[in-house]
Amino acid sequence: MIGYKAEELATKEGKFIIFVCTGNTCRSPMAEGLANYLFRMEALDGVWHALSAGTAVYGRFPAAPEAVRAMSRFGVDISTHRTRNIRDIAVVGDTLFVGMTNAHVYTIKNEITGSKGNVIRLYDLYLECGGSASKNASMFLCKNGDIPDPIGNSDEIYFDIATTIKNLLLPVIETIKRSPYRLPLSSQ
């Protein structure tokens, strides 16, 4: 199963990265799946755990079929994913909230008790971890660095968004590898 139920978080040790989008059916479950896959590939999965949530989730629904198909192209299975509301996440230990857009970051900072200063947009985290703004042209991003919502688009758009998320995560994973017991933020 990808991710953890809120009540399961208290039993996990380590660091948590919670990816947040709106409905928790597209962007954030893809980011969760990719991050957990990369954590396993780099032997960080005992220390780091990724999960995802949405700011406007009302029920427990599966990931969008297009997101599941896009992830399968990376060898990542998110078919068992069920949506969760960010307000239902138990904030434990070292938790980093990563929004897909500035609006998600705003919501987390203003509505989630315990998020402290550990909230950042994925694109900004990418830059903070040494990613290059000059590579933006090869990524599927809004002009301001937000990751667009692919809902209602083709499988190829989902795959482009997933590829962008993976490319944004790579320098983050490299930063975590260098210092696995610390949140990858310069202020931490």
Q: Which of 118, 104, 86 is nearest to 146 (CA)?
A: 104
In this prediction, residue 169 carries a pLDDT of 96
Q: Please name the residues in contact with 145: beta carbons below 8 A apart, sequence gap of 6 or more.
A: 121, 123, 124, 136
Count Cα atoms within 13 angstroms, Cβ side, for 124: 16
- Do the beta carbons of residue 46 and residue 15 sit within 8 Å? no
User: Would you tell me which CATH number, out of the four given (3.40.50.1370, 3.40.50.300, 3.30.70.100, 3.40.50.2300), belongs to the domain 14-178?
Assistant: 3.40.50.2300
* Tokens coding 178: 């260098």
- Do the beta carbons of residue 148 and residue 105 sit within 8 Å? no
| pTM of structure | 0.90
In this prediction, residue 114 carries a pLDDT of 62
- What single string gives the DSSP state of each residue in 26-89? SHHHHHHHHHHHHHHHTT-TTTEEEEEEESS--S--BPPHHHHHHHHTTT---TT-B--BGGG-
Q: Where are the domains of the chain?
A: 14-178
**20 beta partners:** 53, 99
Query: Using CA of residue 138, residue 23, residue 47, residue 77, what is the dihedral sign?
Result: negative
In this prediction, residue 170 carries a pLDDT of 95
Instruction: Tell me the backbone φ, ψ of residue 36, rounded to 5 degrees.
Output: -65, -40
In this prediction, residue 7 carries a pLDDT of 46
- Residue 64 zone, left/alpha/beta (φ > 0; ψ -120 to 50; rest): beta
pLDDT beneath 70, residues of the chain: 1-12, 92-93, 113-117, 136-138, 184-188
* Tokens coding 5: 């139920």
- Do the beta carbons of residue 64 and residue 26 sit within 8 Å? yes
Rounded to whole angstroms, how far apart are CA atoms 33 and 72? Answer: 10
